[in-house]
Chain A
C-alpha cells in the first residue's frame, strides 16, 4: 500500500501532465477502495435486514433483495421495546453530554486561564483518568452508588458526567484547555469593563470555542449512546437503553417470539439481528449524516492535534 503511494509521487516528479493525472487517479482509486471497506458492513447490514427470509437461503441472491420485507422491523421494534428504549437513550445520553461538556469546559477554562496551584498534578491526573480501564473503577463506583440508593437511576450516569469523570471526559478537558488558550488580552479587556470571572467564562470564553462545544456535545452524546459497560451495571436493568437491549437481543427475541410457535418467521436469523442493529445505530447514522461537518471540523479545529 505504501508502495503505491510512492509510485504516485515518483510519477509526480516526472512533471508530465499525464503522470500527474495518473497519480491522482491512483490516489482516488485507493481512497475508493478503502472507502468501500469502511462502508461494507453498513451496506451489508442494511441490505440483509431488508431481505425476505427466502432470499437469505437462496444462494443466487447475494446483494439485491427480490423484494423489500419490513416485517422483521416490526418484530424487532417490539422486541427492543423501541419506543421506551429510544426515549430513554436520548434522555440519558443527551443530559449526560450537556453535563459532561459543561464540567469539562469549566475544568479546561480553569487550567488554561489561571495559574492554578498544582497544575502539573492535575494534568497528570487527567491522563491517569484517561488511561485506566473502566473496569478498575466500575465496581467501587457501583458500591458507592448502591450505598446512596442511586443504582437503577439515571443519576449514576449523570453524576460522574457532571463532575468531569464520564466517558472520555479527560479528552474533552484537554480539548477545551487547548481551545481556551487564546490571548489573555480578551479577558483583560473584559475585566477592565467590569466583567467578573464567571461572566468572562460565559461571555468571552464560551463564544470563542463554539466548535469545540459542538464537538464535545456531539461526541459525548454518541459515546454515551453507545456506552454499555457502566450503564449495564449501574442502571441495573431498571432503565433500558438501545445498546443494552441489543446486547441481550437474542434472549429477548426468544422470549417475545418463541420458536416453538411454529412458522419460520419466528426464527432468529441474520436479517432480524441486522435489523435490530440497524435500529440501534440508525438514529446515530442520521445524526451523523446531518451533522457530519461539525464532527470532522470540530476534531480538526479543536486542537487535539496541537500538542
Chain B
C-alpha cells in the first residue's frame, strides 16, 4: 500500500478503507433489498406478463389495491387476525419476559439452568414445527374443559375475558417467543447499581415503588428494543394469516406476482404502523425525567 503523507489523504483513505469493509454489505443491500423493494412497487401497480424475453410488467395503476379492499373477502379477516395476534401477543411477551427476568435476577443457584431453559425455544421454533406442535395439542397446556375457572372467565364481560382467554390458550406461545427478550432485560437489570436500591429502601420505598420508580425507568430502553424485536419477530413468522394470504396469491393466474406484491405492501405498511405504535408507547419520555 502506498503511503502518501498528506493529512487529507489519510483521512479520505481511512474512510475509503471503511467503505471497503462495508462494500459486500452495500452490494447486498442494493441487489437483495433495495432493488427488490423497488421492483415490488412496480409489480404491485402493474400486470406481469411472461414473454420469451422474460417477465414484462405493464403499469396499470392501483387496481390491485382497489380489488383487495373492495373484492377480496379474505383480506380484511386476515388483516384483523394478524393485527390482533401481534397486538395481543407483544404486550404479553414483554410483560412475561420482564417478570421472568426479575425472577431470574433474584436467584443465584440454578440461574444458568433457568436461563438456558428459557432461551431454548429460540433454537427450535420454526413455522412447520410450531404448526405441528399446535396441531397436535402439544401447546395446549390447559385443557379448557378441565378447569372451572376457565368457564368463569369465559362468562365475564368480553373486555376482560378476551385477553384472559387469549393468555390461557397461548401461554406456551407467549413464553416461547420471549427467549431473547428475557436475556436482554436480564442483562439490563444486572447493570443497575445496587446502591440505588439500597438508598431507596433506606428512604422507605416499597418493592412496588422501587420497581416503578427505579427499575422500570432503567429498563425502558431495553423494553423498547424488546418491543421492536418482538413485533418484527412475530410479523416474520410465516404462519400468520396475512403472510399466508400473500403466499397463496403468489401464482394467481390472472395476476401472477402483482396481486401478492400489492398484498405484501399492505402487510409491510401494517407492520410499520405497529412498529411506530410500539415505538411511541415505549420510548423514553424525556420531559418527565427532568422533574
Chain A residues with a Cβ under 8 A of chain B: 1-2, 5-6, 8-10, 12-13, 24, 27-28, 30-31, 34-35, 37-42, 44-45, 48, 103-104, 106-107, 109-111, 113-117, 122, 125, 128-141, 143-144, 147, 159-160, 162-165, 173, 196-197, 201, 219, 222, 225-229, 243-244, 246-247, 249, 270, 273-274, 276-277, 280-281, 284-285, 287-288, 292-293, 295-296, 299-300, 304-305, 307
A-facing residues in B178-225 (Cβ within 8 Å): 180, 183-184, 186-188, 191, 201, 206-208, 210-211, 221-222, 225
CB-contact partner of A163 in B24, B54, B184, under 8 A: B24
Which A residues are CB-close (under 8 A) to B114? Answer: 31, 35
Q: Is the CB of A136 within 8 A of B40?
A: yes
> Quick check: A295 and B18 within 8 Å, CB to CB?
no
State whether B132 touches A114 (Cβ < 8 A): no
B residues near A135, Cβ cutoff 8 Å: 243, 246-247, 260, 264, 267
B residues with a Cβ closer than 8 A to A are: 1, 11, 14-15, 17-22, 24-29, 31-33, 35-37, 39-40, 43, 54-55, 99-100, 102-104, 106-107, 110, 112, 114-129, 131-133, 135-139, 141, 171-172, 175-176, 180, 183-184, 186-188, 191, 201, 206-208, 210-211, 221-222, 225, 228, 232, 235-236, 238, 243, 246-247, 250, 257, 260-261, 264-265, 267-268, 271-272, 275
Contact of A107 among B22, B119, B124, B201 (CB under 8 A): B22
Partner of B25, one of A106, A136, A140, A285: A106
Q: Which residues of B contact A111 (CB under 8 A)?
A: 18, 22
SS of A interface (majority): helix
B99 close to A5 (CB less than 8 A): yes
Q: CA of A304 to CA of B43 in the docked complex: distance in angstroms?
A: 36
Residues of A near B176 (CB, < 8 A) are: 38, 41
Known: A37-B175, A228-B128, A300-B187. A116 touches B36 (CB 8 A): no
Contacts of B39 in A (CB 8 A): 140, 143
Query: Which single residue of chain A is at the shortest CB-CB distance from B260?
Result: A139
Contacts of A115 in B (CB 8 A): 11, 14-15, 18
A228's nearest neighbour on chain B, judged by CB, is B127
B15 x A116 contact (CB < 8 A): yes
SS of B interface (majority): helix
Which residue of the partner chain, among A117, A139, A140, A307, contacts B15 with CB atoms under 8 Å? A117
Chain A's closest residue to B268 (CB) is A136
Q: Is the CB of B207 within 8 A of A197?
A: no
Task: Assess the A2–B99 pair: CB atoms within 8 A.
Answer: yes
Query: For B180, what are the chain A residues with a Cβ–Cβ distance below 8 Å?
Result: 299, 304
* CB of B153 to closest CB in A, whole Å: 16
Do B33 and A165 have beta carbons less than 8 Å apart? yes
Residue of A nearest to B256 (CB): A139
Residues of chain A contacted by B25 (CB below 8 angstroms)? 103-104, 106-107, 110, 163-165, 173
- Give the Cβ gap from A294 to chain B, nearest Cβ, in Å: 11
Known: A37-B141, A140-B40, A164-B29. A133 touches B271 (CB 8 A): yes
Q: Which residues of B contact A163 (CB under 8 A)?
A: 24-25, 27-29, 31-32
> CA separation between A207 and B17, bound complex, in Å?
20
Q: Report chain B residues within 8 Å CB of A45.
A: 133, 138
